[in-house]
Structure 1
């Protein structure tokens, strides 16, 4: 699943102990670069690599900060900043009417369905859910940092704001597939969006 691969640097960064945060930043940067290079080698369009590009930018900046100022006062707030960064990417993609899930969805759907209202609307909704989860995650993580919450709670919040939208994604896809199946059964039409937008191969 392409989403799991795209977000793997963030999950890695979340689970590595905070005491090793310099190395978690460096490892996440290395993975994000590797994912991006692999995607370019497969000639994926830029619209399908929004998260990968955003990941490289964040972890490159984070690595510079971690190695240049390992005792920075920003350290406790970096989980919140990372969630906010990904949330901003998602919100911006909606603002410019190019939801980041849309580019990924197109990889597994024929061009004739790309402009169909159901296909576009599905990706708008899914991207919005991801954006909301990232934003809520950023707020909760900022509160954890300000309140001195334990590392365990921080990890739970970090993982949850990825898992929740993923679960929604699978559930919503199932709903869309059933709807499309009913549409086809009622009145055969030209190819319509099948609901398979997740990037699985």
Structure 2
């Protein structure tokens, strides 16, 4: 469950964006991302376990500058979907670089002797792929929903929640299954 902390800026942003102007939700995301990143580094976490936090800092910095510079931009209506698509690009990019973002997070709770095993890498590739796919689906579906039914607030909230809940549930279940299989094989 360590990885859930990584998403606090995104969750805070999503909550504030339903209540406030996009400029303020972006600023809240930026402050949360900066605080989380600084706290995590002070606690000794390595950069490889902070991919989502760093991605959040970049996204919210750009969003904050842009939203205050061009407050009436039509992008303001799509910022929720854009945040999912940014996370999708982050996740797919980490896979493309052969460094799935979950690797660094998993290392914080996994014995060092397992870090270089093919099984450890494969498990994290699968988990990161599920996160990437979920963000992609949420971002694309959110974009279409906003384009065709922009006032479907409940559907947008459900989509946003599912975009996080599905990969969280999968991660918990998959890790439990893999550990059980490894113990059975040992």
- Give the TM-score normalised by the residue count of structure 2: 0.94
Name segments (4+ residues, structure 1) moved above 3 Å: none
Unaligned segments of structure 1, at least 5 residues:
185-201
Q: For 2:176 and 2:45, how far apart are their aligned partners in 1?
A: 26
- The aligned runs of 1:37-48 (5 Å cut-off) are 37-48=38-49
Does the CA-based 8 Å contact 1:15-1:155 persist in structure 2?
A: no
Q: Equivalent residue of 2:73, what SS? A: coil
- Structure 2 equivalent of residue 187 of structure 1: none
Unaligned segments of structure 2, at least 5 residues:
none
The counterpart of 1:173, out of the listed 161, 175, 178, is 175
The counterpart of 1:183, out of the listed 173, 182, 185, is 185
Q: For 1:19 and 1:52, how far apart are their aligned partners in 2?
A: 23
Does the CA-based 8 Å contact 1:77-1:145 persist in structure 2?
A: yes
- Structure 2 equivalent of residue 130 of structure 1: 131
- Structure 2 equivalent of residue 9 of structure 1: 9
Deviates more, 1:126-135 or 1:9-18: 9-18
Deviates more, 1:69-78 or 1:132-141: 69-78
Q: Equivalent residue of 1:122, what SS? A: helix
- The aligned runs of 1:1-201 (5 Å cut-off) are 1-16=1-16, 17=18, 19-149=20-150, 150-184=152-186
Structure 1 residues 126-176: Cα deviation after superposition (integer angstroms, max 9, x where no partner): 000000000001110110111133222212211210111000011101101
Higher gyration radius (CA): 1
Structure 1 residues 64-102: Cα deviation after superposition (integer angstroms, max 9, x where no partner): 122222211111111111111110110111111110000
Q: For 1:2 and 1:63, how far apart are their aligned partners in 2?
A: 27
Between 1 and 2, higher relative CO (CA 8 Å, sep ≥ 6) is seen in 1
Does the CA-based 8 Å contact 1:11-1:159 persist in structure 2?
A: no
- Give the TM-score normalised by the residue count of structure 1: 0.87
Q: For 1:115 and 1:90, how far apart are their aligned partners in 2?
A: 20
